[in-house]
Amino acid sequence: MTPDIEKIEHLLNAKTFEELSSSERQLVLAHLSGKAEYDHMRETLLRVKKVFNTEAQAMAVDTVLKEQVLNRFEQNKQQSVSVFGQIAVFFQTLIPTPMGRFSAALAVLLVVVTIGYFSLPNTKPEMAQNTPATKIKQHEAVAEGDSGESLSIETVESKEEEATLGNSHDAPSGKGATFAPVTTEIFKAEEEVASYRADEKTKEANVLKQMPVMAEKNMESDQNRMNDKPRTYTNSDGYEQYNITNNRSASLPQKESSDVMKDYSAKNKKTTERKENHPAPAEGALSGKADDNKSTQKIDNVNVAAANVQQETVSKTEATKTYKIPAWSGYENANDANYLTGEKIKYFLLQELNIITLEKLKGHQVKFLLTFNENGNITLGKVLHFSKGKLPDAYKAEIESKMLKLPPFKFSSNGGQKTLEQTYSITF
């Protein structure tokens, strides 16, 4: 009968013979001759452990040997570990727990989103003009004096109003300067949205169209005012007197309509220049209109960029796609470093296959079976098919033979009896 060494050891370590219970003595005496032998064995075990511990502690670390071994490790380290891989390894070492890595990734994502939010153009005040309810500042008044000096007067958002003679008193004196009335106009919200959604040319065209109309209106109103009889009142002496506050034309030289047009043309030119220097965003893409070349180009750029992002996302998704390990394996966490990914398989094959085979495989999609068995091993099943016609058997055989050398991505098994076959595919 095989003695229960673990039980006897426990007793030898814990109790003297006298301290044993009757059942324990019975167990011991079934295999030992008596108290003396029990005591000898107990003494031996206790002293042996003491000796072993003392010896192990006295073992000095061989630094020379360590250096040699580490140098060999560095030499044999796979060259394929990229800079980003090393960074990933560093962080995986730093944060070995999957929950920790997830939390760190989440924190980084939040920081990136926050930075992106505040750096996006939508957060700038100018972009608020695109909203329907926004009023727009417009126009510049250009004052042009007789000497040809141009004076710009700061525009003020205001209701449409006629310039009064009173304002003329605010004009610079001494130079005979005259100025065209400052006209502001408030676009209605709907008109603003419509104009911004139009293409650049249409917008410019609209503005240009409006300017002469406005000029005409203003001109008309100017003319009307000029032609109007001056308002008079009877002063206290009974004489008629001009109310110069209401008749600006009384002391102002008449302006030719052509000069007024010139004013508005100059104004329009400045407006155009301003628009060119600060173009509106590619709203043409939103409206769907692409009459303008600039809008078209911008639309194309946006579409190409979107396509690139989508393509990149897809390729990244494929590269980092993980294949589910069976639940009974015990490795259910997708963040586990041992997860088999398409990228790992592909990279491995790229290293293993020769150049000729690689050239022939371009564009092909390879599907193959991997089997997960109860022992937690992954084995290559078979190469199923290639997407673009049939390759020579030699290439197929080479892939299969290389994949047999796939580094083991093992996982623990909870003793499940199932065998799962899962199809993987990679595209060269």
Partner 1 sequence: MINLFVDIQKASDEHLMAQAAKGNSRAFAIIYDRYAGKMQWYFLRMLGKDAELARDFTQDLFVKLAEKPHLFDISKKFSTWIYTVAHNMCKNEYRKQSVRHHIPGDDYGVDRKVSGDNDKDLEMHVDKNTFEKMLEIELNLLDENHRTAFLLRYKEEMSIKEIAEVMGTSEGTVKSRLFYTVKKLSEKLKAFEYN
The footprint of partner 1 (CB under 8 A) covers 2-6, 8-9, 31-32, 37, 40-41, 43-45, 47-49, 51-52, 55-56, 59, 61-62, 65-66, 68-70, 72-74, 76-78, 81, 85-86, 89-90, 92-97, 99-100, 103-104, 337-338, 376, 407-408, 410-413
Q: What is the Cα gyration radius of the chain?
A: 45
Tokens of 393: 């058997």
Give 86 or 423: the residue with its C-beta nearer to partner 1. 86
DSSP codes, 336-355: -TT--BHHHHHHHHHHHS-H
**Residue 7 or 382 having the CB closest to partner 1:** 7
Q: Which of 402, 424, 425, 406 is nearest to 325 (CA)?
A: 424
Q: Closest by alpha carbon to 231, among 139, 148, 165? A: 165
- Least distance to partner 1 from the beta carbon of 318, Å? 22
Smallest gap from residue 416 Cβ to partner 1 (A): 13
Paired tokens of 342: 């398409």
CB of 47 or CB of 231, closer to partner 1: 47
Q: Could you tell me the CA-to-CA distances from 262 to 94, 117, 269, 365 in Å, in that order?
A: 72, 45, 10, 69
Q: How far is the CB of 42 from partner 1 (least distance, A)?
A: 8
Nearest distance in Å: CB 384, partner 1: 27
Closer residue to partner 1 (CB): 307 or 350: 350
Give residues with Cβ within 8 angstroms of 284, minimum separation 6: 197, 198, 199, 200, 290, 292, 294, 295, 296, 298, 299
Report the nearest approach of partner 1 to the CB of residue 93 (Å).
Answer: 5
Q: Give the CA distances from residue 317 to residues 56, 105, 198, in Å, rounded to whole numbers and listed in that order.
A: 51, 17, 38
| Residue in 290, 133, 308 with CA at minimum distance from that of residue 202 | 290
Of 301 and 414, CB closest to partner 1: 414
Choice between 47 and 321, CB closer to partner 1: 47
Give residue for tokens 């946006």.
Answer: 302
Q: What does the alpha-carbon distance between residue 367 and residue 346 come to, in Å, rounded to a whole number?
A: 12
In whole angstroms, how close is the CB of 327 to partner 1 at the nearest point? 16
Least separation in angstroms between CB 76 and partner 1 = 5
- Kindly state the smallest distance separating residue 35's Cβ from partner 1, in Å: 13
Q: How far is CA 406 from CA 63, 100, 189, 426, in A?
A: 35, 29, 65, 14
Residues 157 and 273: their CA atoms lie apart, in Å, by 21
Nearer to partner 1, 85 or 392 (CB): 85
Strand order in the sheet with 150-153: 150-153, 141-144, 178-179
Q: How far is the CB of 127 from partner 1 (least distance, A)?
A: 38
Closer residue to partner 1 in complex, CB, 84/239:
84
Cβ atoms of 338 and 409 within 8 Å: the answer is yes
* φ, ψ at 417 (rounded to 5°): -100, 5
Of 71 and 232, CB closest to partner 1: 71
Give min distance, CB of 376 to partner 1, in A.
5
For partner 1, which is the closer residue by CB, 4 or 312?
4
- Residue 379 buriedness (CB in 10 A; 0-12 / 13-18 / 19+): middle
Nearer Cβ to partner 1 (187/339): 339
At 54 the three-state DSSP class reads helix
Minimal distance, residue 386 CB to partner 1, in Å: 29
CB hemisphere CA count around 30 (13 angstroms): 13
